[in-house]
Structure 1
Amino acid sequence: MPRQSILAAIALLATHAAALEAQPRRPFPIDTASIATIQAAFKSGRLTCKTLVSQYLARIDSLDKKGPALNAIVTLNPQALATAELLDASYAARGPVGPLHCIPLIVKDNFETVGLQTTGGSLALEGWKPPQDATMVKQVKDAGAIVLAKSNLAEWAFTPYETVSSILPGYTHNPYALDRVTAGSSGGTAAAVAASYGTLGLGTDTGNSIRGPSAHQALVGIRSTMGLTSRAGVIPLNEGADIAGPMARRVSDAVAVFDVIAHSDPADTVTVQANNRRAEKYTTALTRGALKGARIGVLRQAYERPTLDKEVNTVFERAMADLRKAGAVVLDTVRVDSLEAIQRRQQGGCNRFKADLERYFAARAPNAPVKTLNDIITSRRFHPTVEQRLRDAAAATQMPEDNPGCQSREQVRAAVRAAVTQLMDSLQLDAMIYPTWSNPPRLIGDLNTPHGDNSQVFSPTTGFPAITVPMGYTRGGTLPAGISFFGRAWSEYRLIQLVYDYEQATKHWKAPRYRASAGSSATN
């Protein structure tokens, strides 16, 4: 072809490309986005990191303090767009920086995050910007993720039932029913992820605070085996039970993060065994067919009580039928017969909060915003609902390792671990299941009707893993309900296989509609 013709063809192609670029593109569907769909859009050239982040920021602007006013976000990352531009440049030159390239995350505001304040929900820490990231935050950043915002929490992570704090006026609202609670303490992360403020989020769980909010907002929440993931850089509540981990709309997304964060960390000595105990790659567990032949026990001991909601029970019975339909052997009732007798061995109390918190701040001197729990109390910069908890914790006079009540608690935990393991081994169980809550999300401000929290005993006491996934909806298909899969120590790979197969067989997730409950006087 003559040179003149070649030049003309090049000019025509350039003109065509410019015309395509000038055409308005449909917004990327972030309300249903997953890691896989985002990565595919990057690869095809349909989407840039900067465009994706811009869309998420616009969504937060339209939903969090305006419109339904979910009130889930404490602070936005002012460097998010600049980080997105750097990731775009890196992608153009070398491809994705890691498995979470440009995946926008919402991070609970008790994780240390460089450049952003970390408050634990308390005005006593307002403005504190730690000089380093929490280990888990660093891990996801190194894998390419962007911390888009810090989310509200129940102040100091004290309550599992609602999300209210002094750092952010008002309650955080459940996007599935605006007059309902998000649960706590990771309720801000749960509401934000359910509302697609980010692709997924990070939360913490001492008693139920990843799993409870996840179930109330149709999410997947993973509480790992104690020691498989790091808590370094997370404001502690009780280091004997604290866990940090992912919350997402899909099992695959939660597992993509889990694969990044499940590692040993010299800054958290409890993780010393993690590298030897973790699976080589958790994402390979995401295959169909795992339920066929799986032996699953129904742990009625965890959830059956006089206040069990009939609709929750109906949804759970349907979940059991779905498991059987997928080929699982579901043992209708299994029981840790010795549990109550073991629990009666507890002698004395064990309130670790003061000791753990003061050690945490001592390790951050001179950058620490406070030194002692008494500093917080005398500041009066906290929500009135937490004052008694703060004062009760301040009354502790012994360090946990010297406290007979704490020593007794560790003995009880060891005995429960042995009893649960023996039960599962004797019945050759792959997992045990129960509703994550026995009751639907309460109305905001209601602390009288049954909460139905089923997560406080088995996983926190043993340190064994539990994963909650959506199992359906109550109240006319409006209020989410979750099912928990609980397993032996270090059994995350098997649990992931089971919950992924269940999720894919049932596909219960649906987007929220941002309305008040039916029949409620609350405004939309």
Structure 2
Amino acid sequence: MLKRILNSFFVMIAFATYATAQTEFSVFEKSISEIQQALAEGRTTSVEVVEEYLARISTYDKLGPRLNSIVRVNENAVARAAELDEERAKSGARSLLHGIPLLIKDNYNTTNMATTGSSIALANFFPNTVSTQVKKLLDAGAIVIAKTNLHEFAYGITSVSSLTGQTRNPYDYRRVPGGSSGGTGAAVAASFGAAGMGSDTCGSIRIPSAYNNLYGLRPSKGLSSIFGIMPLSHTQDTGGPLARSLEDLAIILDLTVGFDPADPATQALESEPTPQFIENLYSVEASELRLGKLTSYFDSAGEGTRVAIEEALSWYQAQGATIVDVVIPDLAELIASSRVIGYEFESDLNEYFETFGSEDIDSLSKIFELSLFHDAIGGRLSQILEERPDEAEYAVSLEARTTLRQALNLIFETHNLDALVYPTIAQTPVFIGEQQPGNNCSMAANSGLPALSIPAGFSQAGLPVGMEFLGKRFKDPHLLAIAQAFAASNDHRRPPSIAPPLVNGQPPGPELVELIINENGIRLAVDFSFDVVANLLSYEIFVDPSSLQIFSAATLHIMSGEGDLGAAVLNLIGPASEQVSGESFMSEDLRTAFKNKQLYMRVFGSELPVAGKAILLE
């Protein structure tokens, strides 16, 4: 085909985009309130909403970018949606979650779907009791559309498991999505559900929120029940939502927090008012805030992470907020001395198996003996089983938690702070297979204080950056209000390009650019394919044999905002090559340049000016 086109003696650019009009209502990036309004107005039904989410899962989770965020979809989701549509027509909506599909991390008990912890050991385990938080969601009319992958047994932050494998980050599928709730994070970011539930023992809600451009709250210990969530550490485990907006987060929290007789940690709320989120979401003026900048966590952060969060803090300061540099004496030692996961995991998991009726697998030691786990957690399991807990050391660690909490409370009181601020995680996500450094999870996890991660922007490489607020116990709604003041003027939510809206139930096709070049004796034909779903730039180039002696190279360049062509970002073909084909992962800069008509191909040859010939790709 390229040889035939070369017979032309002109430069032609043909551009084809496979896109058609969207349906009247699409779930893509829709908030809970937007879906609820469309349902109330009859512009869609819960059945249609579920079917579109299922189509997106089918298209983007196991195909296309293969995010691999879903363990299994709920085969009864459409039927439940139909029941809820009928109920709405007869008696109205139960709550703001009526008919809303949610994603549930696969360590929350569900009785009609297996609960696996993403381990092959529990592939067919059906607990005898649903978790408290899932029951509350179901009672509110929500639909469990799917259960999501996690770092096996929630014991890690890269989200790889023996049952489902590695979940990919939708902002760069070569990288990890964070963990352990990485499946929920990736799935919510890709609009596989309206929002999702995760658990956080040490960063497992907050890190996936940071890496997937989401909002995620690790609630105060005891604010919401962990009954029926597969345990990692009962004194440290929490459960809560990840969402694309603070309002969605607040809606779910209002329906899931509160006293539960089955979880002793929630006993404090039996006699106290339950914190309210929606009614307090817009209660903060940025000018009245005092925020503590935890300097040691900024000093250890990567440049892209640090710059994004400092810019966010600058916004607060510009509104009149007071930013106080804070140093917490002996923080590293306080955190190190208050770790308890190693003491609690085995006994907690064994008790869970007994309580919820696991017959085939009744202990962690049996899982280890049968090698029913992913190698990524093998070292930790081995260490736990070999080094049996020392009760005296365990008691010391629990007491150290009180000391840590007292130290943090003193910082709040001394500086009269509304919140401490720092990077959710110090480094951007690593490539799959690498170890993820930079975890800042322990301060909240070991103290029991609430921590909220919000989108703060993007790194130079186009990767999401999360900013974390640490607050006072049971002042969780105040954290959301602090964040809402920022989010109202700084919308950093950006959907991943590799999971765009479906067009008539199908992903959009690639954008094609065909070039025929005949310039000063240099004749070549180029086909480009920009596939946003696969996030790949593919190309094929044919140089006419008569041009080989005078043709040197062709390269891609991005034009700056000042109108200057930057350095070559990709060599397409070099000297003495008659025909080449190739593909390249599309970086955020490259995608943006193509979208904004700032991507150029530059052709070089002995008969051309030294600067070559620049051609806009459009």
| Common fold by TM > 0.5 | yes
Equivalent residue letter for 2:354: A
| Distance change (3 Å), C-alpha of 1:346 and 1:298 | closer
Alpha-carbon distance in structure 2 between the residues aligned to 1:48 and 1:25 = 17
Measured after TM superposition, the shift of residue 340 of structure 1 is: 4.5
Alpha-carbon distance in structure 2 between the residues aligned to 1:301 and 1:148 = 41
- 1:291 matched to 2:286? The reply is yes
Aligned to 1:381: 372
- 1:329 matched to 2:322? The reply is yes
Alpha-carbon distance in structure 1 between the residues aligned to 2:135 and 2:38 = 25
**TM-score after normalising by structure 2:** 0.76
- 1:403 matched to 2:391? The reply is yes
Aligned to 2:439: 453
| Distance change (3 Å), C-alpha of 1:386 and 1:345 | closer
Equivalent residue letter for 2:365: N
| Distance change (3 Å), C-alpha of 1:345 and 1:351 | closer
Equivalent residue letter for 1:416: L
Alpha-carbon distance in structure 2 between the residues aligned to 1:287 and 1:222 = 17
* Greater displacement, 104-113 / 386-395: 386-395
Alpha-carbon distance in structure 2 between the residues aligned to 1:185 and 1:513 = 23
Aligned to 1:157: 154
CA contact (8 A) 2:206 2:218 kept: yes
Aligned to 2:257: 262
| Distance change (3 Å), C-alpha of 1:422 and 1:51 | same
- 1:497 matched to 2:489? The reply is no
| Distance change (3 Å), C-alpha of 1:358 and 1:484 | same
Equivalent residue letter for 1:337: P
Alpha-carbon distance in structure 1 between the residues aligned to 2:273 and 2:57 = 35
- C-alpha deviations, 1:300-334, integer Å up to 9, x for none? 233422xx311211111101111112332111x11
CA contact (8 A) 1:350 1:409 kept: no
Aligned to 1:309: 302
Measured after TM superposition, the shift of residue 360 of structure 1 is: 1.1
Unpaired runs of 5+ residues, structure 1, are: 1-23
Q: What is the aligned counterpart of 1:466 among 451, 455, 471?
A: 451
Measured after TM superposition, the shift of residue 111 of structure 1 is: 0.6
Alpha-carbon distance in structure 2 between the residues aligned to 1:37 and 1:63 = 23
| Distance change (3 Å), C-alpha of 1:107 and 1:311 | same
Alpha-carbon distance in structure 2 between the residues aligned to 1:494 and 1:286 = 8
Unpaired runs of 5+ residues, structure 2, are: 1-20, 499-533, 538-568, 571-582, 587-618
CA contact (8 A) 1:113 1:137 kept: yes
Rg larger in structure? 2
Q: What is the aligned counterpart of 2:55 among 35, 52, 58?
A: 58
| Distance change (3 Å), C-alpha of 1:346 and 1:329 | closer
Alpha-carbon distance in structure 2 between the residues aligned to 1:381 and 1:344 = 30
Q: What is the aligned counterpart of 1:73 among 47, 70, 88?
A: 70
CA contact (8 A) 1:264 1:271 kept: yes
Measured after TM superposition, the shift of residue 183 of structure 1 is: 1.0
Measured after TM superposition, the shift of residue 121 of structure 1 is: 1.0
Q: Map 1:72-471 to 2 at 5 A.
A: 72-160=69-157, 162-169=158-165, 171-279=166-274, 281-287=276-282, 289-305=284-300, 308-331=301-324, 333-340=325-332, 342=334, 350-365=342-357, 367-398=358-389, 403-447=391-435, 451-455=437-441, 457-471=442-456
CA contact (8 A) 1:72 1:173 kept: yes
Alpha-carbon distance in structure 2 between the residues aligned to 1:345 and 1:36 = 44
Measured after TM superposition, the shift of residue 406 of structure 1 is: 1.1
Aligned to 1:31: 28
Aligned to 2:519: none
CA RMSD of aligned residues (A): 2.2
Alpha-carbon distance in structure 2 between the residues aligned to 1:349 and 1:286 = 33
Identity of aligned residues (%): 34
CA contact (8 A) 1:346 1:405 kept: no
2:488 is paired with a residue whose SS is helix
Instruction: Identify, as 1 or 2, the structure richer in strand.
Output: 2
Alpha-carbon distance in structure 1 between the residues aligned to 2:113 and 2:99 = 18
**TM-score after normalising by structure 1:** 0.89
1:221 is paired with a residue whose SS is strand
Measured after TM superposition, the shift of residue 253 of structure 1 is: 0.2
Aligned to 1:4: none
CA contact (8 A) 2:32 2:96 kept: no
Aligned to 2:564: none
CA contact (8 A) 1:296 1:433 kept: yes
CA contact (8 A) 2:233 2:340 kept: no
CA contact (8 A) 1:435 1:454 kept: yes
Aligned to 2:496: 512
CA contact (8 A) 2:298 2:306 kept: no
| Distance change (3 Å), C-alpha of 1:343 and 1:166 | closer
Equivalent residue letter for 2:488: Q
CA contact (8 A) 1:354 1:396 kept: no
- C-alpha deviations, 1:134-186, integer Å up to 9, x for none? 111001111111000010111111112x11101113x1111111111101110
CA contact (8 A) 1:348 1:404 kept: no
Measured after TM superposition, the shift of residue 350 of structure 1 is: 4.5
